[in-house]
Amino acid sequence: MIYTKGKAGYHMEKSDILTASLPDANDETTDHSTIFYDVFRTIAQKIPQLLIPLINEVFHTSYSEEEHFEQLRNEHYEKFGTVVTDSIIRIGSHIYHLECQSTRDETMVIRMFEYDISIALEHASFAEHAVWEIEFPQSCVLYIRNHRSLPDFHEAIVKFTDGQKIRYRVPIIQAKKYTVDRMFEKRLLILLPYHILRYEHFLKHNGTDLKKVQHLLDDFREINRKLEETSEKEQKSHLYMDIIVLIEEIADYIIPEDNEIRKGLGEIMGGKILKLRSEELLEQGEARGRLTGLREGRLTGLHEAKIDAIQNMIDLGLTREQILRKYSPEEYEEAINSMSVKA
């Protein structure tokens, strides 16, 4: 969440349930990067269909992932500044407000009330008998790190001058409670980039416990396998490539540079990006070649597709070593030189 005073604003650039003895994120003294929120907002803006299963899980709805929805403005202007929420979408007549939270904050319920009343006022309607109807959105907070003893709801009592007391409640969902199997079963793919945070304490203390290391790598092999399986079944290579890029974004932030796990995880997930993107681009090259009907044309098309694939991998941040596991040094150099010429 971002609450900015004055004229400042936010700009984006770019199990079964399991709770067993995970260390508390509040024990960490390291700086909390906005990368966690950037990833959530990237999903909300670019692959918002992943929000639908989260809404189903929290509010016990049964929307299809193909359900028509409308993304609403997440910036609300008030007298003392701008309130920017993480995601607001409308499905039918219902408005859903989703917030991603990294740290534990005792004032979270106050902030949510502030966000929700801004949303409610913006969508207020003039009802029958000349009375305004102000309906709050259905809201929730997703906690992505490991926190002990979080309640099921954030709650506050709202007192009105006529003596009415209303209990304001916001449900909480914790990413740590979902295993890899459970995330795929419930289609909670939005949680996959945050799965590495289950191991955050262990990683930041440069853990060398071989059993934990193996468990971590096994988790991500399973994520890799299930993503590949789902990608082939649903023919959504773009979507699953994007998810893996976001997984790697957070993993690169969380895993210390001198930790060998970076290499192992990179080989597991990086290879998946190579496969998805290169297959897609090679298919495009083959299609271009078939159009020419000439052998020379087909070979040229395939070669261009390889160069395009390498350039896209570079843009995604893959290393030279990762790319050379799929392509030749000559093709890599040609792609680099071609990028320099275009620049």
92 — phi, psi (to 5°)?
65, -125
Over the range 319-329, which residues count as b (16 or more CB within 10 Å of their CB) and which as e? eeebbeebbee
Q: Across residues 173-180, what is the average pLDDT?
A: 94
Collapsed DSSP state (helix, strand, coil) of residue 97? strand
Band (pLDDT 50/70/90 cuts) for residue 131 is: confident
Please give the pLDDT value at position 82: 52
The H-or-E segment that residue 291 falls in is helix 261-292
The residue ranking higher by pLDDT, 182 or 236, is 182
Residue 201 has pLDDT above 50, yes or no: yes
Instruction: For residue 73, give the DSSP letter.
Output: P
Please give the pLDDT value at position 135: 93
Residue 26 has pLDDT above 80, yes or no: no
Collapsed DSSP state (helix, strand, coil) of residue 117? helix
Provide CB contacts within 8 A for 138, sequence distance 6+.
59, 94, 95, 96, 97
Mean predicted lDDT score pLDDT of the chain: 78
Q: Across residues 207-215, what is the average pLDDT?
A: 79
Between CA 104 and CA 144 the distance in angstroms is 10
The residue ranking higher by pLDDT, 96 or 284, is 96
Lowest mean pLDDT among 169-178, 202-211, 291-300: 291-300
**Percent over 70 (pLDDT), the chain:** 74
Band (pLDDT 50/70/90 cuts) for residue 240 is: confident
| Contact status, residue 318 vs residue 335, Cβ threshold 8 Å | no
Question: Rounded to the nearest 5 degrees, what angle is found at the Cα of 207, between the Cα atoms of 201 and 212?
Answer: 90
Between CA 189 and CA 117 the distance in angstroms is 29
Both tokens of residue 130? Answer: 């000349």
The residue ranking higher by pLDDT, 220 or 82, is 220
Collapsed DSSP state (helix, strand, coil) of residue 87? strand
314: nearest Cα among 274, 276, 268: 274
How far from each other are the two terminal CA atoms of the chain, in whole angstroms? 36
Residue 285 has pLDDT above 70, yes or no: no
Please give the pLDDT value at position 188: 96
Residue 315 has pLDDT above 90, yes or no: no
Please give the pLDDT value at position 276: 54
Please give the pLDDT value at position 283: 55
Q: Across residues 233-253, what is the average pLDDT?
A: 83
Highest mean pLDDT among 73-87, 148-162, 218-232: 148-162
Band (pLDDT 50/70/90 cuts) for residue 323 is: confident
If one counts every other C-beta atom within 10 angstroms of the C-beta of residue 213, the result is 18
276: nearest Cα among 322, 321, 231: 231
The residue ranking higher by pLDDT, 74 or 212, is 212
